[in-house]
A and B are shown apart, each in its own frame.
Chain A
Amino acid sequence: MKNSIKLIVIICTAIVFVTANMAMAQKAGGPWTIPATYKNMKSTVKAGDASINTIGKENFNKHCKSCHGAKGLGDGPKAANLKTSTGNFSLAAFQARTDGELYYMSFIGRDEMPNFEKKILDVADRWAVIGYIRTMKK
Chain B
Amino acid sequence: MKKIYKTLKFSALTLFTLIAAQSATFAQEEATADTTVQEKPIDKPVRPAFENALLFDAATTTFYPSKSLEFVLQHRFGVIDTKDNNYDMAGIWGSANIRFGLNYSILNSLMVGVGTTKFNKMTDFQLKYRVIEQTRSNSIPVTVALYEVIGIDGSPDAKWDGTPDSVTTKGYKFGNRMSYFTQLIVSRRFNDKLSLQVGGAFTHYSCVDSVYSHDRVSVSFAGRYKFSPQMSLIVSGDFPLDIKAIKDYKIVKSNTIIYDKPSLNAGLEIATSSHAFHVYVASAQGIIPQECIMWNKNDFFHGGILIGLNITRLWNF
Which residues from chain A sit less than 8 Å from chain B, CB to CB? Answer: 54-55, 57-58, 61-63, 66, 115-116, 118-119, 121-122, 125
- Chain B residues with CB under 8 A of A119: 273, 316
For the residues of A in contact with B, the DSSP-based class is helix
Say whether B272 contacts A122, CB under 8 Å: no
Decide: A66 near B47, CB < 8 A? Known: A54-B192, A57-B229, A61-B229. Answer: no
Q: Is B230 an interface residue (CB 8 A)?
A: yes
Say whether B273 contacts A66, CB under 8 Å: yes
Q: Is B65 an interface residue (CB 8 A)?
A: yes
Say whether A58 contacts B44, CB under 8 Å: no
Task: State in angstroms the CA–CA spacing of A58 and B44 once bound together.
Answer: 19
Decide: A58 near B272, CB < 8 A? Known: A119-B316, A121-B65, A122-B47. Answer: no
- Chain A residues with CB under 8 A of B272: 62-63, 66
Say whether A62 contacts B229, CB under 8 Å: yes
Residue from B64, B68, B229, B316 within 8 A of A58 (CB atoms): B229
Give 10 A-B pairs besides A58-B229, A115-B316, A119-B316 with Cβ atoms closer than 8 angstroms: A58-B192, A62-B272, A66-B272, A66-B273, A116-B273, A118-B64, A118-B65, A118-B316, A119-B273, A125-B47
19 contacts between A and B (CB under 8 A): A55-B192, A57-B229, A58-B192, A58-B229, A61-B229, A62-B229, A62-B230, A62-B271, A62-B273, A66-B272, A115-B316, A116-B273, A118-B64, A118-B68, A118-B316, A121-B65, A122-B44, A122-B47, A125-B47
- Chain B residues with CB under 8 A of A55: 192
Interface string of B188-202 (1 = CB under 8 A from A): 000010000000000
Interface string of B176-192 (1 = CB under 8 A from A): 00000000000000001
- Chain A residues with CB under 8 A of B44: 122
- Chain B residues with CB under 8 A of A116: 273
For the residues of B in contact with A, the DSSP-based class is loop
Task: State in angstroms the CA–CA spacing of A62 and B271 once bound together.
Answer: 7
Task: State in angstroms the CA–CA spacing of A54 and B193 once bound together.
Answer: 11
Min CB distance B111 to A, Å, is: 14
Min CB distance A122 to B, Å, is: 7
Interface string of B207-235 (1 = CB under 8 A from A): 00000000000000000000001100000
Interface string of B47-91 (1 = CB under 8 A from A): 100000000000000001100100000000000000000000000
- Chain B residues with CB under 8 A of A66: 272-273
Q: Ordered nearest first, which 4 A-B pairs have the shortest CB separation?
A: A61-B229, A118-B316, A63-B273, A58-B229
- Chain B residues with CB under 8 A of A54: 192
For A121, give the chain B residue with the smallest CB separation.
B65
- Chain B residues with CB under 8 A of A63: 272-273
Interface string of B280-317 (1 = CB under 8 A from A): 00000000000000000000000000000000000010
Task: State in angstroms the CA–CA spacing of A58 and B68 once bound together.
Answer: 22
Residue from A61, A115, A122, A125 within 8 A of B230 (CB atoms): A61
Task: State in angstroms the CA–CA spacing of A110 and B47 once bound together.
Answer: 26
- Chain B residues with CB under 8 A of A125: 47
Task: State in angstroms the CA–CA spacing of A118 and B48 once bound together.
Answer: 13
For A67, give the chain B residue with the smallest CB separation.
B273
- Chain B residues with CB under 8 A of A61: 229-230
- Chain B residues with CB under 8 A of A58: 192, 229
Interface string of B254-283 (1 = CB under 8 A from A): 000000000000000001110000000000
Min CB distance B235 to A, Å, is: 21
- Chain B residues with CB under 8 A of A121: 65
Task: State in angstroms the CA–CA spacing of A66 and B271 once bound together.
Answer: 12
For A63, give the chain B residue with the smallest CB separation.
B273
Task: State in angstroms the CA–CA spacing of A119 and B273 once bound together.
Answer: 7
Task: State in angstroms the CA–CA spacing of A121 and B44 once bound together.
Answer: 11
Task: State in angstroms the CA–CA spacing of A120 and B316 once bound together.
Answer: 12
For A59, give the chain B residue with the smallest CB separation.
B229
Min CB distance B134 to A, Å, is: 14
- Chain B residues with CB under 8 A of A122: 44, 47
Min CB distance A86 to B, Å, is: 14
Task: State in angstroms the CA–CA spacing of A61 and B273 once bound together.
Answer: 9
